[in-house]
Amino acid sequence: MLDYTKLDKILYGGDYNPEQWPEETWPEDMRMFRLAGIDILTLNVFSWAAIQPSEDCYDFSRLDRIVELAEKNGIRICMATSTGAHPAWMAMRHPDILRTDEHGIRRKFGSRHNSCPNSPTYLKYGPALAGALAQHYRGRESIVAWHISNEYSGECYCENCEKAFRDWLKEKYGTIEAVNAAWDTAFWGHTFYGFEEIVVPDYRSEMFEGGRTTFQGISLDYRRFMSDSMLRECLLEADEIRSAVPDAVITTNFMALYKGLDYAKWAKHLDVVALDCYPSNGDPWTRTSMTHDQMRGLKNGDPYMLMEQTPSVTNWQPYNALKRPGVLRLLSWQAVAHGADTVMFFQMKQSIGACEKYHGAVISHAGSEDTRVFREIAALGTELKDLGARTLGSRTAASAAVLFDWDNWWAIENSAGPSTDIRYLTEVGRMYSALRSMNYDVDLVAPDQPLDTYRLVCAPLWYMVKGRDDENVRRYVAGGGTFVTSFFSGIVQENDLVTTGGYPGKLRDILGIWVEENDALPSGSQNSFRYGGREYPAGILCDILHLRGAQQIDEGGYTGDFYKGSPVVTVNHFGKGRAYYIATASGPEFYRSFLGDLCREQGMEPVMEVPADVEATCRRKEGARFVFLLNHKAEAVKVRIPWDCAELLKGGTYPAGSEIGLAGYDVRIFEIPDGSAGCQQV
Amino acid sequence: MLDYTKLDKILYGGDYNPEQWPEETWPEDMRMFRLAGIDILTLNVFSWAAIQPSEDCYDFSRLDRIVELAEKNGIRICMATSTGAHPAWMAMRHPDILRTDEHGIRRKFGSRHNSCPNSPTYLKYGPALAGALAQHYRGRESIVAWHISNEYSGECYCENCEKAFRDWLKEKYGTIEAVNAAWDTAFWGHTFYGFEEIVVPDYRSEMFEGGRTTFQGISLDYRRFMSDSMLRECLLEADEIRSAVPDAVITTNFMALYKGLDYAKWAKHLDVVALDCYPSNGDPWTRTSMTHDQMRGLKNGDPYMLMEQTPSVTNWQPYNALKRPGVLRLLSWQAVAHGADTVMFFQMKQSIGACEKYHGAVISHAGSEDTRVFREIAALGTELKDLGARTLGSRTAASAAVLFDWDNWWAIENSAGPSTDIRYLTEVGRMYSALRSMNYDVDLVAPDQPLDTYRLVCAPLWYMVKGRDDENVRRYVAGGGTFVTSFFSGIVQENDLVTTGGYPGKLRDILGIWVEENDALPSGSQNSFRYGGREYPAGILCDILHLRGAQQIDEGGYTGDFYKGSPVVTVNHFGKGRAYYIATASGPEFYRSFLGDLCREQGMEPVMEVPADVEATCRRKEGARFVFLLNHKAEAVKVRIPWDCAELLKGGTYPAGSEIGLAGYDVRIFEIPDGSAGCQQV
Amino acid sequence: MLDYTKLDKILYGGDYNPEQWPEETWPEDMRMFRLAGIDILTLNVFSWAAIQPSEDCYDFSRLDRIVELAEKNGIRICMATSTGAHPAWMAMRHPDILRTDEHGIRRKFGSRHNSCPNSPTYLKYGPALAGALAQHYRGRESIVAWHISNEYSGECYCENCEKAFRDWLKEKYGTIEAVNAAWDTAFWGHTFYGFEEIVVPDYRSEMFEGGRTTFQGISLDYRRFMSDSMLRECLLEADEIRSAVPDAVITTNFMALYKGLDYAKWAKHLDVVALDCYPSNGDPWTRTSMTHDQMRGLKNGDPYMLMEQTPSVTNWQPYNALKRPGVLRLLSWQAVAHGADTVMFFQMKQSIGACEKYHGAVISHAGSEDTRVFREIAALGTELKDLGARTLGSRTAASAAVLFDWDNWWAIENSAGPSTDIRYLTEVGRMYSALRSMNYDVDLVAPDQPLDTYRLVCAPLWYMVKGRDDENVRRYVAGGGTFVTSFFSGIVQENDLVTTGGYPGKLRDILGIWVEENDALPSGSQNSFRYGGREYPAGILCDILHLRGAQQIDEGGYTGDFYKGSPVVTVNHFGKGRAYYIATASGPEFYRSFLGDLCREQGMEPVMEVPADVEATCRRKEGARFVFLLNHKAEAVKVRIPWDCAELLKGGTYPAGSEIGLAGYDVRIFEIPDGSAGCQQV
């Protein structure tokens, strides 16, 4: 976590690249930052070429001047290591640093995310730079966090990666026989007699259209290996920093709902999680909420940093619409509402060249404070200053959890069959969004995490049940928990090998069912079923199951096709708890109805009762609870306040039962002291 | 053909890969097979790595145990040579065995269909393995067929292929001048002065988007060369087998309507044709019929093997829907109805890993006989046993033929212009489906085959008229035959060089027309014409033609555009016969109407008069005819039986004139002894 | 320009490749040409392999015979240099001549457009061949033009190009520091310390999906470099020709609206511009007009050559529809109407092989003069002969100009953001088509050209304002001109670096506005505004602007969204002139209404008042004006003639006020002698 002893408010600022500008322009930047209430700058994100002109030479002189300028202006620093893009000279002299793509084409110098994570050159000079920086800037009180590299992502399929993959496999499996068993290589006669026969699984070998694969075992392990390779490089940098600055707060910025890296594994090694948050035009607000809850879930509910967001537009989408007035503020507070303790932007000053020049910034090309966007930024700066430290360090106490697991994501989307429409995020989103839209706080957690504190645990599309994760759930349900999973779950173990004896494999006893067949519905066609007196759609995949102890709780099963009548929603009483199964994919109304029923049965209360598309979340801290109220639509609404509370943004206090109006995109933060009327309901 | 002296029923079984499983599970497999009436297993399809651990070593010990197990259980064997996927060690030590793709990227070890057909390594070790297997298993009575490699397919563009292509060209053309003439290389100045200047025609040279080509001559020859290269490798394996097992019945499995290989050329060298039959979701049933008739046509009407089909689902389609109850049985009998004398599956036991783990199998992941699919399999096993040898070896006596030719397929779809919507299978399918849906038995035959036995010969989109194929048709028509062809026919000779002097080139005298222009209609737009009192659509290409002896038999020509009134359907009296031309592509109703008229004029009778989407085919054998009645829809129908006959599946005899009900997807086989009432009508 | 002293009519003919045919067929070709009135042949376009069988040997013997045949038949020659496709032997022996594609894949011999423009081999043997040809054919009176190579196009990314690119950069920028500044390489730490670190910007480095780029600076310069590289090769050939034939008229054929080459730069070095004109099915006629006006604008209004068009069909479009009867004539005269002084075809004789065999030709596969197409060709030949020299050398005197600039095209479509729907040709076309459809003659000119002669200058999407181009416009407006530009203009300078201080950058004073924000509208959504009492759509990008001296002339601004009311159309009085801004993209009706208003205010008269989809253009020559009247639709129309004139195609004279009928696709040419009634209106 951030060092809260050093903070008296939510830090406000972002990526600042003054090296792109003449030095004489810097003071004007500082003036603008002061106007905007900026108090943190992320420096040095893309300066590798600038600060290291050759193998044996560092030049921190300009960075020194930037750091001093920030300090002189009372601004904290998030110090990046600059290893997110290597210098051109390094690529020329040491081409092993360049990645090879999934078609086997070696890249040339350019773009970013461009270093091979198993390149000897990268592994030498990346950490060395981090170490040199840490040595040079140790003892600077202004540095509140160290930001390693930038947005780790992508893949490499070069010969160094191939060799490193073999080493990783040796380390993991020990013998080639164990590899053969893990990957079921007898299939198609892929048996290996030695590690040196193993090659990278790309479009030259096992991959085919859409990134799918003919051999799931090797492809899954390569994803794990690639995530581990980047993590290894990251940790080499972290080690260098920690040896110079033992109390360094280390992070790297994660990209929302990014498939490529197992952030759950990464987060264990970081001091604080940081998020780059760029909702696309038209994303539902619950998807952004899920992004935030994933970040918070990565380190047991610890607050995280909102490291990047745009104040106005992005540049990389097909259509880069402006954030409407008020939306910058709304999304910033949404982050805080879910657990962020910083509000930061990419970028502080808009570049004049290259691909991000049309990305929004605090200081725009106009260079003027007299813009709508700057006015919104400055107003938010004032709000943040006024709020001070009140909410810092507060935590969410969700009673519902949704299991989230990168291995599942990778495995199900590698699969050849039963349907290319099965997408992990879609299925996770169905259950998450239902709960969130009813304003239940939700944690996203890994399947091996403790579940005891939850009254409801959902495991959407839990295709791959690894190790003893089923035992974790078994214990939870047996102990009285309520568990929900869905179609095509329990199918494989950790190597994507099917658990034989009948689906859903290791979950059969918990769920009390046997799934005999899975029928994939062509795009556009659907079946249906009835639950709670209403008819709902069934699509994507229809499991055909038999009750083996469970009871059917939908009304009459599928309404059509040859499996008409086959159960769709079942419950099994297992120990003191209940385990539910949803045999198909349905629409949002179903999930709201069904999960709403379960929440009510469990006596769970939403944070607040509010109109549709208004979000309410709660963070707690010794002595008080903070309820964040966010109106995600353009229209005004009225909300009844159920507790005695103070409002922290506009000020004022409200007795329980007050009704307030909330303008379009408006936000409120209520502080409810422990013991005040109605407080227990939160 | 299969050795019918050894068979007393339709063989029932499929691909069995016990090497993917612990040996202790095998006896349970045998128990399940017995329950299902299985009596043939295809073994050793993907075991190259297992049985050849290095260049100079074979290990058949486990395969011996599998063979013995099968024999002990009274099960016949289809012995595969395993060369469909090479070992990883071989790819590592001898990378020439790896293919190079159409972008010039050399593949790495992985997937299957992965051996370069001109690789010295493959040409050495593939046939050697086949020979070693044949030596090892010679004399085994249980082996009813030898199955070379697996699903030959794909292409290679490596340097070895380039060299072999030059040799193939030298062999074919003799001199470089002859090559220049054949390919018209004066165009764009592509003149070659030596064979060594010729390179493979891929995306690096002549190919462009959609696999089309800027030089049809070389691209067409490369397709022929690639088909010949794989055939050469196949025959090297066959030679090895035959020298050890002189009476070996040799096959390899063909993929339905596969474009890449000239199966007509291949089939000449095989003892029996074998089909892998995987209709896609939503394919019309007539397309599957066409698949079967193509297989039967490849070897002069000889019965063939249904080598692979899925009992339930595939895994490789975007949406892998279940075969509905009864459909497995329906499609199995449909194969027999068209000339198959085996019913076999991929696969006997569902693998737990890799890309086919969600492909259906006789023994599923559940390992249970208590499944819908297993019950259907076992019931079919019983039907096949009860039927016995009755229909084995019977043959189809079609009075209609549709010409089918791979060179035409390749050439028309290589063409730059006149329309990318011209697809060979679509045009062939229009005429075939009209005849088949009216229940005329149809042969698919090559244009150089004898045509005398047919009362109607259709040559849809006969773009390329090779050698003296026009003479074959000229003789047929002059002798009294009825011939139908369609737009854009007679355009080129065998090297895709235009026959000048006016389209349709060598067919002008036969058809009595001159096609002056071809107008390509943009996708979605259409013209129309009237025939037999009804209006039909005209699309894709509209030939604008002049009568040069022929008569117009549509009513008034095209109804629109500047060529309004230009003839669409013409007939030419040529010798004792008639030659028809259809100047455009129309809808299914037109082809049924028009070809129905021709059939009636020729006194041809359909196999039976049945409701729509019920199929009736006939196979004959000394002393009897067998009519297969297949209801391709889910709804029940009633059918009148026009002959005295016995029914072979449900039993019972029917006098001519009886009416029977046929449930959805249901099947009947009627045996009509020669001389019984109504027999002549079949 | 062509040498008009040698011409007594519009030359009529095209590409003739007799080397693809036996010599004995040539006389028949000549007979057909005479029938068709052909008097020019482009020879030797693809004969490099034929005339140069090895490095040190030329063989012109067959070409000599072809040239003599043409001369004997009184036919002029356009002599091509044949370097549009290199010989196979050269590619084999000197592989540096082969291009490397944007993925780094080296091509093999094949297709055309296949020579690397920086290949030492190409730079040696290409110009050498041109020189040898010129030496060999110097003094031939029959040669009216030299045609260098053919349709220069494409790109190369090989190592020779990489090296040459560095040299080009050194030449342009002098120092690496200047490169860093020009490309803003501090962004993402791309700073270069030496030219040798710079690599080609392709998919291996800076390009990403859709050909967009992460570094606009280098990608823009690479486009310029690639255009310059090909131009350099072209000029080396030209130098060789000129040193043998000092008065040679040199050209190369440009492809209509082709993005890859900066034709404005090329045209300066050519003696006459030549156009290949292939409208696609469904192109509006105004697009073809724009193509012609671009050609005319490239050399200050000089007449150009229509070098290629198809008489009937193309072969390379997805659907190659026939040109309807009359359309060949219509499009030929349309070229003349806009400034072409030749009418030429690809191709004179249809090849029998390879990818253009289904492309239309004067002599078709049928070889018959009795075809619709040949009759139309011959009739046009007669018309051209009858017209004689009347219009030769006449020029257009447009009062409206549309600025067109390849750098703008490249830069805006390289951009990452704000919207992938922003397309340069679309925006240019909106203004051009409005003016053209109202029958104002329009010049397309570069932004640095003199503007004084125009009463209206439009600069659609003038994104990049290079050098002192703003000063050119500033002077024009200050002097009384009327100037119109549109959204997202004035954003960057010549290196794609943003002009800071507020959009539209260097145009702010001229336009009197400040654009604060740009809102990209997702595909399918739109805003709207009112102008002149009508409502029009607003889409793609909506600029949100402030008046800084300008007045709003739309009625009420945007009608929706948070910027409702923000001005859409503004005018600024600047010096003696007016500068208009259109803040968004609208529909054709708006541009006709708005630009029509401006034209009327400026007292501009259309060439003629005619019904919709009838085009009228005017060319002038000492003593007379020629008005071309072209009916682009299939339906007949009536037109009133406002001047005393003679009609040159059908003959006859008309007093002012006459009304004539014009059949579908029909054409007239009126000659209006200076001083005749109504003449001043033209």
pLDDT reported for residue C221: 98
The 10 Å CB-count burial string (b at 16+, else e) for C398-432 is bbbbbbbbbbbbbbbbbbbbbbbbbbbbebbbbbb
Please provide residue A555's backbone torsions phi and psi, each rounded to the nearest 5 degrees.
Answer: -105, 85
**Averaged over B114-139, what is the pLDDT?**
97
Residues 40-99 of B with CB under 8 A from A: 46-50, 53-54, 82, 85, 87-89, 91-92
What amino acid is encoded at C447 in this protein? P
Token output for A570: 């079942």
The partner residue sitting opposite C521, judged by closest CB among A49, A319, A356, is A319
pLDDT at residue number A281: 81
Domains of chain A: 4-154+220-387 (3.20.20.80), 159-213 (no CATH), 400-601 (3.40.50.880), 614-673 (2.60.40.1180)
Residues of C with Cβ-Cβ distance to A204 under 8 angstroms:
none
Write out the DSSP string of C20-61.
GS-GGGHHHHHHHHHHHT--EEEE-TT-HHHH-SBTTB---H
pLDDT at B209: 83
Question: Looking at residue A248, what is its pLDDT?
Answer: 98
Closest CA of chain B from C88, distance in Å: 6
Q: Which residues of B touch C103 (CB under 8 A)?
A: 103
What pTM was computed for the model? 0.97
Of B233, B237, B240, B308, the active-site residue reads: B308
Residue A515's nearest CA partner among A542, A551, A494, A484 is: A542
Rounded CA separation C405/C667 (Å): 32
Per the CB < 8 Å rule, is B92 touching A197? yes
Overall average pLDDT of the C635-648 stretch: 97
CB contacts, 8 Å: B322 with chain A? 517-519
Mean pLDDT estimate for chain A: 97
Contact B201 C110 (CB under 8 A): yes
The minimum CA-CA distance between B264 and chain C, rounded to whole Å, is: 26
pLDDT at C288: 98
Which of B16, B358, B364, B375 is the best residue to mutate to test the A interface, defined by the most A CB atoms within 10 Å of its own CB? B358
Structure token digits, residue C210? 């859709």
Does residue C292 contact residue C335 with C-beta atoms inside 8 Å?
A: yes
Q: Kindly tell me if the per-residue pLDDT of C679 is higher than 80.
A: no
What's the whole-number mean pLDDT along residues B551-569? 98
Give pLDDT, residue C629.
98
Residue range A186-206: average pLDDT? 97
pLDDT by residue (tens digit) across B208-239? 988 889 999 999 999 999 999 999 999 999 99
pLDDT in tens, A21-41: 999 999 999 999 999 999 999
Tell me the pLDDT tens digit for each residue of C212-238. Answer: 999 999 999 999 999 999 999 999 999
A354: which 2 tokens?
A: 């290259």
Q: Do A199 and B356 touch (CB under 8 A)?
A: no
Q: How far apart are CA C347 and CA A311, in angstroms?
A: 58
* Residue A109 to residues A90, A106, A223, B481, B627, Cα–Cα distance (Å): 9, 10, 24, 69, 70
Question: Is there a contact between C418 and A313 if contact means CB atoms under 8 Å apart?
Answer: yes
Beta strands, E only, C605-681? 614-621, 624-631, 637-640, 645-647, 653-654, 659-662, 667-673
Measured between beta carbons, the chain A residues lying within 8 angstroms of C416 are 315-316, 355-356, 358
Per the CB < 8 Å rule, is A520 touching B313? Answer: yes
Chain C interface test: which of B159, B165, B176, B188 (most C C-beta within 10 Å) = B188
List chains adjacent to chain B, taking adjacency as at least 3 C-beta pairs closer than 8 Å.
Answer: A, C
**CA distances for C360 relative to B96, C31, C33, C242, C364, angstroms:** 45, 19, 15, 34, 7
- Which residues in chain C touch residue B213, judged by CB atoms under 8 angstroms apart? 355
The predicted model gives C331-359 an average pLDDT of 97
Put simply, whether A101 touches B (Cβ < 8 Å) is no
- pLDDT, one tens digit per residue, over A234-252 is 999 999 999 999 999 999 9
Chain A residues in contact with C521 (beta carbon < 8 A): 319, 321
Task: Return residues 544-563 of C near A (CB < 8 Å).
Answer: 562
Which of C198, C208, C516 lies nearest to residue A366, judging by beta carbons?
Answer: C516
Taking residues A333-354, what's their average pLDDT? 98
Residue A475 pLDDT greater than 70, yes or no: yes
Best of C320, C356, C368, C370 to substitute, by most chain B Cβ atoms within 10 angstroms, is: C320
Q: Give pLDDT, residue B679.
A: 66
Q: Tell me the mean pLDDT in the region A285-311.
A: 98
Question: Is B196 tagged catalytic?
Answer: no
Judge whether residue C370 has pLDDT over 90: yes
B280: its two tokens: 């896609």
Q: Which of C312, C325, C365 is closest, CB to CB, to B500?
A: C365
Mutate to test the interface with B, among C48, C62, C89, C109 (most CBs of B within 10 A): C109
Measure CB to CB from residue C419 to each of A47, A319, A368 and give the nearest one: A319
State whether residue A113 sits within 8 Å of chain C by CB: no
Contact C19 B186 (CB under 8 A): yes
The chain B residue lying nearest A196, using CA atoms, is B92
Name the band, by pLDDT with cuts 50, 70 and 90, for residue A407.
very high
Whole-number percent of chain A with pLDDT over 70: 99
Looking at the predicted structure, is the pLDDT value of residue A677 above 80?
no
The helices-and-strands tally (H runs, E runs) of chain A is 17, 29
Which residues from chain B sit within 8 angstroms of residue C106, using beta carbons? 104, 204
Of C187, C199, C523, the CB nearest to A354: C187
Token output for A139: 């003892």
- Whether A679 has a pLDDT exceeding 70, the answer reads no
pLDDT for B681 equals 61
Question: Which tens digits make up the pLDDT trace of C457-494?
Answer: 999 999 999 999 999 999 999 999 999 999 999 999 99
For A588, the 3-state DSSP assignment is helix
How confident is the model over B422-430, as a mean pLDDT?
98
Cα distance between residue B199 and residue C98, in whole Å: 13
Q: What is the pLDDT of residue A682?
A: 61
Q: Which of C359-373, C589-603, C666-680 has the lowest mean pLDDT?
A: C666-680
pLDDT score recorded for residue C210: 82
| Contact status of B387 with chain A (Cβ, < 8 Å) | no
Cα dihedral B122/B125/B128/B129 (nearest 10): -100
The band of A211, judged by pLDDT with boundaries at 50, 70 and 90, is: confident
- Mean pLDDT score, A375-390: 98
* DSSP class per residue in B264-276: HHHHTT-SS-EEE
Three-state DSSP state, A189: helix
DSSP string, C487-554: SS-S-B-TTS-B--SSBTGGGHHHHTEEEEEEEEPPTT--EEEEETTEEEEEEEEEEEEEESS-EE-S
Q: Which of A206, A237, A240, A308 is catalytic?
A: A308
Q: How far apart, in Å, are the Cα atoms of B298 and each of B328, B337, B385?
A: 25, 17, 28
Q: Give the residue numbers of C annotated as catalytic, written as ranges.
A: 151, 308
Please answer yes or no on whether C205 and A312 come within 8 Å at the CB atom.
no
Pairing of strands A551-552, A569-574: antiparallel
The question of whether A308 is a catalytic residue gets the answer yes
Cis status, amide bond into A418, omega within 30 of 0:
yes
Task: Find residues 217-246 of chain C whose CB sits inside 8 Å of chain A.
Answer: 217
Mean pLDDT of B472-501: 98
- Residue from the list B282, B352, B367 with its beta carbon closest to the beta carbon of A184: B352
